[in-house]
Amino acid sequence: MKALNDKNVMHRDLKCENIMLNFPAEGWSQVDKKFRQEFQMNSGNFQIKLADFGFSKELEEDELTASVYGTPLYMAPEILNRKPYTTKADVWSLGCIFYEILIGTMPFNARDYNDLIATIEAGLYSIPKTIGLS
């Protein structure tokens, strides 16, 4: 994300499906596959890669864009409302991804597009008390 931001590039479709984890397999047998995965997750010996740059766009400094691309459940409010936005819209999507990873569901749910906009604008999300977060 920092590399994209440094180049003023927006991904515009950040979601869990577009995040790939690469676990190098050098030196491990297939028998040890489960152990390898647990070891690498705990040791941090893996790479995170972004995929699907089909909607990405490079912006000039201080440029705004208004095209509506992406997956609505991950879209920043300004995109949903068809207002100009910057690379900061990807930060919103990243926040939705973090929420989904921690909680197991999307932060905002809705019946349709208009309901999604209303739900986001009202800030209607919660963290279930059954989730053991510090």
Give the start-end residues of each E strand in 12-77.
19-22, 47-50, 57-58
Q: Of residues 13, 52, 62, 112, which has the active-site annotation?
A: 13
- Tell how many helices (H) and how many strands (E) occur in the chain: 5, 4
- Name 92's Cβ contacts closer than 8 Å, sequence gap at least 6: 74, 75, 76, 77
Tokens of 40: 């690498």
Q: How far apart are CA 100 and CA 98, in angstroms?
A: 5
13 is catalytic: yes
Q: Hey, which residues are catalytic here?
A: 13
